[in-house]
Amino acid sequence: MHPHFKPGPLPLSMQLTPEGKLKHFLSTEGLPHLLLHDIMDRAEQFVTLPAKQQKKAPFLRGKTVMNLFFENSTRTRVTFEIAAQRLGADVTNLDIRTSSATKGETLLDTVRNLEAMNADMFVVRHEHAGTAQFIARYCAPHISVLNAGDGRHAHPTQAMLDMFTIRQKKGDFAPLKVAIVGDILHSRVARSQIHALTSLGTGEVRVIAPKTLVPAGLDKMGVNIFNNLDEGLKDLDVVIALRQQRERMDSALLPSEQEFFKLYGLTDKRLEATKPDAIVMHPGPINRGVEIDSRVADGSRSVIMEQVTNGIAVRMAVMSMIMGSMAGGAA
Ligand code: CP
């Protein structure tokens, strides 16, 4: 990253046009609930169309989408690629491991070169928080940037596909009790989900985690914090399990995966505390036997694979809305 860049608060004006339409999609923080519902409404249109008919909605025809994944991904990268293709875009996946980034080229120089190849949209995943924001600030004005996950900071399209899945299964957010369980400290997904859930007026948002995995200041985000799993699971409508982010974790934070599973692992027995029709979600990748038992991950309450499928429609929705805003037309 640029040595002088310090990711700071993200002003809404950085993501939205003066008319309040999406220009970039960097974070769910501060986004109005009407815009979040617009994204879900648009995704609903795509999800009900068979893939062949989706290709007849070429919102991105003639546009070039570049996937820049500086960190590994399965779900996000592939669903962004499928979404862009269904919208008629030309899609390029830059293989960072064989790119000139490995020869010392700076991020901005890489961006400048991709701009010169007529990029219209960058989809960016990076281990450093603020990278997508940085690119959005310095790239050419006609280019839009979508954050596909930056460090511990944000993963806005993941949060939106999760909101979409909750809305599909449960309808209105107001009566719902939703909990996010596990490694909140290192999770960009949790932060983006909390911003979206609170903006959408969710009845109660809980986090359930050991004290060592609760970030400072979380209590100011409008959530109730539980350190005991059984207490936190009581009467829930939606349980969202998170992966232990071992790649970002100081090993001193947790004694062992076995102990974590004993205290915080989701099992059928422990889920008896939730409402009988509660759903279980997970953004993936899942660690079986660490944060979730296989019987739960593959069981009747699990909507994990539906989340993955919904990722295509939600990413189509966000990309098509951005392209509408950039063209000055209806988003
Ligand atoms: N949920 C998610 O971001 O998964 P990937 O890392 O596989 O993209």
Under a CB-based contact definition with an 8 Å cutoff, are residues 282 and 181 in contact?
no
Order of strands across the sheet that contains 177-181: 224-226, 204-208, 177-181, 238-241, 279-281
Provide the pLDDT for residue 20.
93
Cα–Cα distance between 208 and 241 in angstroms, integer? Answer: 9
3-state secondary structure of 57: coil
Whole-angstrom CA distances from 171 to 126, 163, 164 are: 33, 10, 10
Q: Nearest 5 degrees, angle CA 157-CA 159-CA 161?
A: 70
Task: Give the position, in ligand 1's atom list, of the atom nearest the Cα of 284.
Answer: 1
Q: Nearest 5 degrees, angle CA 41-CA 80-CA 15?
A: 65
CATH class of segment(s) 156-303: alpha beta
Is the CB of 245 inside a 6 Å radius of any atom of ligand 1? no
Strands 121-126 and 90-94, sheet pairing: unpaired
Under a CB-based contact definition with an 8 Å cutoff, are residues 143 and 118 in contact?
no
Average pLDDT per 10 consecutive residues for the chain, totaling 331 residues: 60 92 96 97 90 76 96 96 96 88 90 96 96 95 97 97 98 98 96 98 97 93 97 98 78 76 97 98 96 98 98 98 76 44
pLDDT tens digits, 189-227: 999 999 999 999 999 999 999 999 999 999 999 999 999
Provide the pLDDT for residue 331.
44
**Residues marked as binding for L-aspartate?**
103, 188, 243
H or E segment to which residue 258 belongs: helix 257-264
Cα–Cα distance between 253 and 247 in angstroms, integer? Answer: 13
Task: Give the position, in ligand 1's atom list, of the atom nearest the Cα of 74.
Answer: 7
- Dig out the tokens for 234 from the structure: 């009581």
CA–centroid distance, 240 to ligand 1, in Å, is 15
CATH class of segment(s) 3-155+309-326: alpha beta
Q: Is this structure's pTM higher than 0.75?
A: yes
Provide the pLDDT for residue 11.
85
Is the CB of 157 inside a 6 Å radius of any atom of ligand 1? no
CA–centroid distance, 245 to ligand 1, in Å, is 12
Q: Nearest 5 degrees, angle CA 194-CA 30-CA 321?
A: 100
Is the CB of 156 inside a 6 Å radius of any atom of ligand 1? no
Is the CB of 149 inside a 6 Å radius of any atom of ligand 1? yes
Task: Give the position, in ligand 1's atom list, of the atom nearest the Cα of 77.
Answer: 8
Under a CB-based contact definition with an 8 Å cutoff, are residues 157 and 39 in contact?
no
Specify the domain boundaries for CATH 3.40.50.1370 within the chain: 3-155+309-326, 156-303
Cα first-last separation, the chain: 32
CA–centroid distance, 328 to ligand 1, in Å, is 32
Is the CB of 74 inside a 6 Å radius of any atom of ligand 1? yes
CA dihedral 290, 294, 299, 303 (to 10 degrees): 50
CA–centroid distance, 190 to ligand 1, in Å, is 13
Is the CB of 232 inside a 6 Å radius of any atom of ligand 1? no
Task: Give the position, in ligand 1's atom list, of the atom nearest the Cα of 71.
Answer: 6
- Measured by CA distance, the residue closest to atom 6 of ligand 1 is 73
